Amino acid sequence: MVKLRLKRTGKKFTASYKIVAADARSPRDGKFIDSLGYYDPHSKKLNLDYELITKYLNEGAKPTETVRTLLKKEDFYQKYIANKNK
């Protein structure tokens, strides 16, 4: 099963995260299938590739709670669910 989750990058105390599609069995900072975006919690920067995220969600990937929250913050997840239910 594929999950959309965060991969930690950066130094100690200055973490930043990549949003990735990864196998649910792989470790947090292990191998991943595709990079879908970037999140920096210090500067509140969020950069997403909406086309790739839509592709993986359509294929059945499940976002983690944190990724789902970030997608909701960008109003992407609500639009995706609304379009899927049409």
Mean pLDDT by 10 residues, the chain (86 residues): 91 92 82 90 91 90 92 84 76
SS3 for the chain is: CEEEEEEEEEECCEEEEEEEEEECCCCCCCCCCEEEEEEECCCCEEEECHHHHHHHHHCCCEECHHHHHHHHHCCHHHHHHHHHCC
| pTM (two decimals) | 0.83
Domains of the chain, residue spans: 2-84
pLDDT at 29: 74
**pLDDT in the model for residue 83:** 80
pLDDT computed for residue 86 by the predictor: 67
In CATH, what is the architecture of 2-84? 2-Layer Sandwich (3.30)
Q: Check residue 7 and give its pLDDT.
A: 92
pLDDT of 75 reads: 86
Query: For position 24, what pLDDT does the model report?
Result: 85
What's the Cα-to-Cα distance from 13 to each of 16, 42, 85, rounded to whole Å? 10, 10, 41
